């Protein structure tokens, strides 16, 4: 029996997840849903089904995020981080293990909160394009992205320190008085999502690759900040 796959009608915009699914659907997800679909939903045949999209995007974001975290934080740990900070009196017992555990436990929930944004992009609620504009246009877009996200992250961070919010959402991240690279993603899930949401929705009228590069820069920047000093 040959399975015929269906996807939603093409849309003029593009998205990072559309690019990922165009590669991973034929390589992995088509066969996985054909073999492992235990529901009556047409997940194997309909690539645009919202349940299939949710599972596929969750897998991509969670696995990709974990690989990015362990790779970049690991490189920073071995190549940049000054391990003399581990002797600092404010370092907690088993802090590195606790930072990694906090991240691993938070990432699935951060991913669940983020997946609807990518589904919205796939449904056409995005102005990312796969067409290069010009060097000046892309440079201006990247500059606007950095200024806008810096401005918003500052005020989000201020809000997270409000006495009504801090104990519930932000205190987890400040358990680490002396950060290591492994603390870069050790957030409460909602705290982490607020910044992921900002990065995922702030690009407009931008070449897809420019968007991906600026988001990757923000990830590396966050890890580097956790690697530098107490």
Higher-pLDDT residue of 207, 183: 183
- CB count within 10 Å of CB 68 equals 15
Query: Tell me, what's the pLDDT at 8?
Result: 45
Which residue is associated with the tokens 């073999």? 35
Mean pLDDT over 85-106 rounds to: 93
pLDDT band at 9 (very low <50, low <70, confident <90, very high): very low
Spatial CA neighbour of 122 closest among 14, 12, 7, 6:
14
Distance CA 17, CA 229 (A): 35
- CB count within 10 Å of CB 150 equals 10
22 to each of 6, 46, 69, 149, 182, how far by Cα in Å? 12, 14, 24, 29, 32
What's the full length of the chain, in residues? 230
197 to each of 13, 121, 178, 192, 228, how far by Cα in Å? 19, 12, 26, 9, 26
With a CB cutoff of 8 Å and minimum separation 6, the contacts of 213 are 142
Share of the chain above pLDDT 70, in %: 74
Q: Is the pTM of this model over 0.85?
A: no
Distance CA 40, CA 226 (A): 47
Strand partners, 129: 207
With a CB cutoff of 8 Å and minimum separation 6, the contacts of 150 are none
Average pLDDT of the chain? 79
Query: Tell me, what's the pLDDT at 208?
Result: 52
Mean pLDDT over 47-57 rounds to: 91
Mean pLDDT over 152-175 rounds to: 89
| pLDDT tens per residue, range 115-162 | 898 888 888 776 666 666 677 777 787 787 778 878 888 888 899 999
Mean pLDDT over 19-33 rounds to: 88
Q: Is 118 helix (H, G, I), strand (E, B) or coil?
A: helix
Q: Decide: 199 and 221 in contact? Cβ < 8 Å.
A: no
């Amino acid at each position: 029996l040959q399975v015929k796959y269906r996807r939603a009608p093409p849309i003029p915009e593009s998205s990072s997840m559309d690019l990922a699914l165009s590669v991973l659907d034929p390589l992995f997800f088509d066969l996985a849903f054909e073999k492992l679909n235990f529901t009556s939903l047409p997940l194997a045949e309909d690539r645009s089904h919202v349940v299939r999209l949710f599972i596929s995007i969750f897998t991509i974001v969670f696995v990709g995020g974990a690989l990015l975290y362990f790779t970049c934080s690991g490189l920073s740990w071995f190549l940049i981080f000054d391990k003399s900070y581990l002797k600092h009196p404010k370092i907690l017992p088993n802090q590195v293990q606790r930072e990694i555990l906090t991240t691993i436990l938070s990432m699935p929930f951060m991913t669940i909160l983020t997946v609807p944004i990518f589904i919205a992009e796939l449904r056409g609620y995005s102005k990312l394009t796969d067409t290069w504009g010009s060097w000046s246009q892309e440079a201006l877009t990247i500059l606007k992205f950095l200024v806008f996200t810096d401005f918003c992250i500052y005020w989000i961070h201020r809000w997270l320190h409000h006495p009504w919010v801090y104990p519930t959402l932000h205190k987890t991240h400040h358990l680490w008085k002396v950060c290591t690279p492994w603390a870069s993603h050790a957030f409460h899930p909602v705290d982490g999502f607020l910044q992921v949401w900002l990065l995922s929705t702030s690009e407009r009228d931008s070449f897809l690759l420019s968007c991906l590069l600026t988001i990757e820069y923000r990830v590396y920047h966050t890890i580097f900040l956790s690697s530098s000093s107490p």
